[in-house]
Structure 1
């Protein structure tokens, strides 16, 4: 059977782990311990895979509570999550929900090959609180967590200081979902991106995300601010988009892997009734 995960080394201190479904999680190696950012869908024996990469004790920090990022948490003992995202984790952690996600991404036949590796649902899992500005000192390398709400209320970004790498995950990428009931309006999101851009200015040389490809252009936040403005000015391309029973539009024209046809990074998938903060949305 094909392995669900494989490693893409970035440096001696940082390993990217890519899932068969295209999600990236990141393993940062310190002198005294390791930090794993995200745990994917809770499938494929992630803990065993990570323990084959390092003998260091492992701490886990989650970017947010969604089905494709937080569901492997029960495999580990020391997991941090912004508490505002716990309800999202609880709604999406069932095996049935996760199997549906795998089928949507891999197809029925391939998804069924991994069904027996699904982690048992643990809606009452006791997370440790992940706070804005929290620092993980791994020994020789530090990782700082910062709030970047929008995609979810508890969305977090991570700055690996010594590597000058900013991990934005789903906070700002080429297919940022901004259309379900947990997301904010486009106008509010634009303000969050502007705040993050100021916070991280001059502190990174590379930006990594969580889907399809690892590294994106360092100007992605500026590009995303422009995308938000186009949406508010009603000049976006607005391609139809459907995902697990939900309908939305893609702001900028792109291909099936969300690469924009104009060559820029940064794109939003949003709902027409969730553009301005004053709008009454559900």
Structure 2
């Protein structure tokens, strides 16, 4: 990392991303963002929950911290078990409590998936705050977090999960996007929407495109231009029209396909920034997964 490192320990590294914005990297390279106003700090995502992110954040700010999750997956919800509360879209609450996304074993395995980061420390069960029942506050498309002197707006982008949210800072012209739209957008998972539903989400997201220039995601360190939304829309249409490359992923994701083959830099060979992993039985609208119940994207 060539960034301006502010603080580090054996679990986390913090660097200054923008004025008032600190980026924190976890053991598996997963990313979260600390946005500081004059009255409150917003923690967007909570990494995998290996090591005490709450204690680490306490060294970075004296202000009260509100945690919000872009979605309910293992590498974004971890610190919620420490804070005992989290703002999250209701459609992802059941997902975050599943064993895959909450168990100590799953989180230790996840952080061991990046050998380069694992060399920094050997993790043990006592390093992982266990999951338990916590307060979950509903947050929806159109909500606003007032931090004092700045505000962060919520945009619903169901796709990667039904409850996926992104966060817009109009003043800095930045969106913090989690896994909503990137070079490896996963739509083949339990809790993902269909490609058709994701296309509708991206069209909604596009209505905000004029309000920001770049996105910062949950795994890619570099800023990504807002044109990734157009790339995602185009890729969805290719999939629905069956004009994509439909590259089988084999054992990596049994039964799943990659819309475009990857280039040497991992971006789609067909151009643009957005690639999509999907299953052919998850293209058109369908009954929503029982685990999540009825969809509730917007209030």
TM-score greater than 0.5 by the shorter chain:
yes
What secondary structure is seen at the aligned counterpart in 1 of 2:109?
helix
In the alignment, which residue of structure 2 is the partner of 1:63?
A: 70
Report the CA distance shift for 1:79/1:220 in structure 2 as closer, same or farther (over 3 A): same
In the alignment, which residue of structure 1 is the partner of 2:129?
A: 119
Counterparts of 1:164-183 in structure 2, within 5 Å, are 164-183=173-192
The answer to whether structure 1 residue 223 and structure 2 residue 251 are counterparts is no
Which ranges of structure 1 fall in alignment gaps of 5 or more residues? Answer: none
Contact 1:102 1:111 in 2 (8 A): no
Report the CA distance shift for 1:47/1:4 in structure 2 as closer, same or farther (over 3 A): same
Residue 223 of structure 1: CA displacement? Answer: 0.4
Report the CA distance shift for 1:167/1:121 in structure 2 as closer, same or farther (over 3 A): same
Report the CA distance shift for 1:130/1:278 in structure 2 as closer, same or farther (over 3 A): closer
247-256 vs 229-238, greater mean Cα deviation: 247-256
What secondary structure is seen at the aligned counterpart in 2 of 1:104?
coil
Aligned pairs, number: 280
Counterparts of 1:164-203 in structure 2, within 5 Å, are 164-198=173-207, 200-203=208-211
The answer to whether structure 1 residue 210 and structure 2 residue 218 are counterparts is yes
Counterparts of 1:4-43 in structure 2, within 5 Å, are 4-43=11-50
2:51 paired residue among 23, 44, 49: 44
Counterparts of 1:44-193 in structure 2, within 5 Å, are 44-91=51-98, 92-106=101-115, 110=119, 113-115=122-124, 116-122=126-132, 124-193=133-202
**What TM-score results when the alignment is normalised by the length of structure 1?**
0.90
Note the alpha carbon deviations across 1:58-89, whole angstroms, 9 max, x for none: 11111011111012202114521112111100
142-151 vs 271-280, greater mean Cα deviation: 271-280
After superposition, the CA RMSD in angstroms is: 2.6
Partners of 2:111 and 2:57 in 1: how far apart?
21
Report the CA distance shift for 1:8/1:255 in structure 2 as closer, same or farther (over 3 A): farther
Partners of 1:113 and 1:225 in 2: how far apart?
41
